[in-house]
Structure 1
């Protein structure tokens, strides 16, 4: 009897060891989110009159590698008279501990963008800072000096105080070569993946702003229709079963001259009915919006919303929403209504309220690139090349197809106010030449405009093809060429880009 028990133990241990060897290693990436604010001294106009300072606020996410960090940030105007002034850029810096409670944060943000008729030149700018940080248990606060300069023939240059709040946002992941590998709950039991999962949702949506009569917008025709049509992306991160925070970004593609954009950060509450097949979501967000002839004053807006969702299949839902979008004093106000396609996922754990029985590693790819449009057609200025900084996020449906969302902002080429918000579908090949190269193709479409670029009401179509050259398990060099066509304008340009791709896999429990 003893020999039988010993033999059973050895067989079980061997099987477990064999299984563990094939399980993806769980890795941790440290990082932090940041909200910051600075008040920019704007230059005098040609008549010598000065305008109010532009209150600028940014949302950032940075990856930490010891004291060094790097990541992305997007800024928008909240106060002053430049509503619709947005930028995108790259962060790099050091957080140097001085004591358990104090640290120094020194770094540089390089980006591109502009808008709202501001003297932004080509859009490229630098924003170095030197801050003293105060570390609290759940967050940290920073205060210090910053300097901003729009370096490509822009006139905005200012020294100012810099305020910030930072929140740790770490995540676990597996390397991308585990894409689409499937496991059961039994396989992952008593491993590092055996923990509560985090719930997220991702939605591509079409939204409409029915602008009130007392709001000022630039219409594209003399008709009485004052509807602005938007396309965008929303990401929800759940704090528990019901409460969540959300990030939402939209760009206009019809109804007004191209160039309108809005970005919101907020929270909400999720109600479920009919065995989780029907959901009701209440949301409230605050953010920035403007451009494209929309007079939003400084740009600060609030966004209450009510959404109703119905499951189509598995974790895919169709969503309809209604609400309001307005400045606090209702200088600009509109009712909103829209339609979206939403996907729910439970990441990096096998414990959730549905008691998952299987899990699959799903792939994400984040891409930062520099892009050039050759001979980008202008509405009035002479034709010249347009350069822009661009960020793209891909979600892999399987090993071949991915959904993509992309935003871009001009940084050189006399078009500082130009920006894009587009989405679409792509496909990639299996790895070639010793697992070092992959080729891909994609077609994206959405809203774009501003900077005197001839995009009509803003709808563009953007097919492309390119290659990824693998540098490490997570990093690749990525380059592509393609063609951009504005369906309602004269923009028809060949483009090329080069950048870095950061690929990860996350465990999605079913």
Structure 2
């Protein structure tokens, strides 16, 4: 991990230093979007209850249809560590002023928390009745959660709330040009960072088997932050165990924090985070998780920074608690502004993928194929290099609960409308769950792609590569199909 971090730092620094200066003005467009949250209690086999939260980021395809990524996870009960990730398609209709009827379908993969999910495929159709207020909607949702190749099928009534936002972007033809707007581009995050570190369990804390922890649990993940003033920000973070025998542990949190410069560009700050976590035999109860931390950061270049952070985490209804320390390597994408100023448009791609591991070694000693669904975000560093963050979850292959989180760098040929192109990327991260032999959790992956651009509106990529656990026996070829939507977004 240390060598990969040093390599990433050098590549990022040199890439930004070599970026071409834009020389013309770009167009800007806006797509309405929303952040949607759901809360419901599903019933598992044996009449066991599990509280489940959902989060969606949905972009309006037109006035009534929305589409985007979604994640669901356990928050109460006995199944902390239950997560699924996938995509949501929904439509709504105004039945009377300020009252909306909404129907949708979520399809994704995941599991965990020792839940009986089979291969991991989850389907959630729903019908909602919503009240429209300034800035969002709120209402009730009737849904069914079903794992077709598992044993979970539950009907329930829950709550749903959404907050309106927007997604500002430029056409692909504007990449490399200048843009002068007050608002941020894309999803609006000002910085992203990959993280690596360790959790030190408190004395006396035991795993689900009753064995006390005697060492540290290695951790890898990433963060995205957005500033609401010069010093205060909110963000999201996700990560997973990368060593220490807790493979399968994963977490997703929302965070708020504040920071201030102490001398020059060196800053100190503090933050708090709430979210969901579990898996890897950790005693997490229902899965709700809290963190507090302090940190210091310093720039390596104009756009690349490093940060050191220390803090504590705890599961309120579980036994597990720990101190932690991490190092972060990040990129400044944008800044909080009170007035518009010129910014460069850089390329970005959102992608949904299907992957296949033909020989995924299990702890049982067997080898079986595993199919996964995934979500990818690629952000250009220069016209021919990019940063990629990815999340994948199993949906078929008797590996329900197996999930992968990856981040790394890629290179690509020049991409022109209606033409073929090639890309290649090297990623590292964490994986676990589903009985896959990913001992410790740390993995590396390399994939080469051949692709075709459909008039700069969509891109199809076919990939072949290799994924390998650093300490486990999981070592397989990978075949990947990815469909992306390319856009341009404003950056520093």
Same fold (TM over 0.5): yes
How far residue 151 of structure 1 moved from its aligned partner, in angstroms, is: 0.5
Worse-superposed segment, 170-179 or 73-82: 170-179
Kindly tell me: are residues 456 and 243 of structure 1, through their superposed partners in 2, closer, same or farther at Cα, counting changes over 3 Å? same
Q: Which runs of 5+ in 2 are unaligned?
A: 1-22
TM-score if structure 2 supplies the norm length?
A: 0.90
How many Å separate the matches in 2 of 1:461 and 1:98? Answer: 51
Look up the match of 1:39.
Answer: 41
Deviations 1:221-242 (Å, cap 9, x if unpaired)? x996331111111000112222
Which residue of 2 is the match for residue 209 of structure 1?
A: 199
Contact 2:294 2:310 in 1 (8 A): yes
Match of 2:232 in 1: 243
Contact 1:214–1:332 (8 Å) recurs in 2:
no
- Is the Cα–Cα contact under 8 Å of residues 234 and 254 in structure 2 kept in the other structure? yes
* Residue 346 of structure 1, CA deviation: 2.3
Aligned to 2:16: none
RMSD: 2.2
What residue is the counterpart of 2:182 in the other structure?
195
Segments of structure 1 that go 5 or more residues without pairing to the other structure are 1-20, 45-49
CA distance in 1, matches of 2:24, 2:346: 17
Count of residues paired in the alignment: 466
Instruction: Pick which of 491-500 and 82-91 moved more.
Output: 491-500
Deviation at 1:463, TM superposition (A): 0.7
CA contact (8 A) 1:79 1:298 kept: yes
Offset at 1:381?
6.3
Report how far residue 382 of structure 1 moved. Answer: 3.6
- Tell me the TM-score normalized by structure 1: 0.87
Equivalent residues in 2 for 1:51-62, closer than 5 Å: 51=48, 53-62=49-58
- 1:119 paired residue number: 116
1:392 aligns with 2:376: yes
Q: Does the residue aligned with 2:143 lie in a helix, a strand or coil?
A: strand
Q: Decide which of 271, 274, 299 is 2:263's aligned counterpart.
A: 274
Is the 8 Å Cα contact of residues 217 and 256 (structure 1) preserved in structure 2?
no
Asked if 1:364 corresponds to 2:348, the answer is: yes
Q: For the pair shown, which has the larger CA radius of gyration, 1 or 2? A: 1
Asked if the contact 2:311–2:325 (Cα under 8 Å) also holds between the matched residues in 1, the reply is yes
**Aligned partners of 1:303 and 1:326 also within 8 Å:** yes
From the superposition, tell whether residues 96 and 223 of structure 1 become closer, same or farther in structure 2 (CA, over 3 Å): closer
- Measure how far apart 1:196 and its partner are: 5.4
Aligned 8 A contact 2:218 2:244 in 1: yes
Q: What are the equivalent positions in structure 2 for 1:302-381 lying under 5 Å apart?
A: 302-329=290-317, 331-346=319-334, 359-380=343-364
Match of 1:462 in 2: 445
CA contact (8 A) 1:129 1:162 kept: no
Do the aligned residues in 2 keep the contact of 1:371 with 1:388 (CA within 8 Å)? yes
Query: Tell me, what secondary structure is at the counterpart of 2:190?
Result: strand
Displacement of 1:468: 2.5
Deviation at 1:473, TM superposition (A): 2.6
Q: CA shift at 1:370, angstroms? A: 0.9
Q: Per the alignment, do residues 474 and 171 of structure 1 end up closer, same or farther by CA in structure 2, a change over 3 Å counting?
A: same
Q: 1:98-177 counterparts in 2 under 5 A? A: 98-152=95-149, 154-177=150-173
Q: Indicate conservation of the 8 Å contact 1:199/1:344, yes or no.
A: no
CA deviation map 1:196-230 (0-9, x unaligned): 556611111113111112322279xx996331111
Task: Indicate yes or no: 2:83 matched with 1:86.
Answer: yes
SS in 1 for 2:173: helix
The alignment partner of 1:88 has SS state of: strand
**Aligned-partner SS, 1:170:** strand
Pairing of 1:412-491 with structure 2 (within 5 A): 412-431=396-415, 435-491=418-474
Task: Quote how far apart the aligned CAs of 1:54 are.
Answer: 0.9
Note if contact 2:284-2:317 (Cα within 8 Å) is conserved in structure 1: no
Shift of 1:435: 4.6
What SS does structure 1 have at the residue aligned with 2:293? strand
Partner of 1:18 in structure 2? none
Shift of 1:24: 2.1
